[in-house]
Amino acid sequence: MPQNVEEFQNPGGRYILTFDGAIDGNLIQIAMLVTEDAQGKVESIRAFTRPWPVAKLFREYMERNLRPDPVPDALWELPASKARQ
């Protein structure tokens, strides 16, 4: 289970949550940048993960478990991969 490590918030409606977790026994660290609109509703979420080899495992896990619903297949394709086709 992921464990919330830190939470940072500024008055402009942006905050960062950090988590430590594990994928196949490997430590993964995740930072989520959340932006809210004037009504306090989430406007965007950006995820940053490390280390890269474990982030790759995380992406593969999410792709296996979220495909085809609720995430459309096109969102899993990288732009550079599509350009080579």
Residue 38 sits in a domain whose CATH number is: 3.10.450.700
Domain count, the chain: 1
Query: How far is the C-alpha of 26 from the C-alpha of 21, rounded, in Å?
Result: 8
pTM recorded for the entire structure: 0.69
Structure tokens at 8: 């940072």
Encode pLDDT of 23-57 as tens digits.
989 999 999 999 999 898 999 999 999 999 999 89
Range of the domain at 71: 3-84
Name residue 17's amino acid.
Answer: L
Encode pLDDT of 51-71 as tens digits.
999 998 988 888 888 766 766
Q: Which residues contact 49 (CB under 8 A, 6 or more apart)?
A: 28, 29, 30, 31, 55, 58
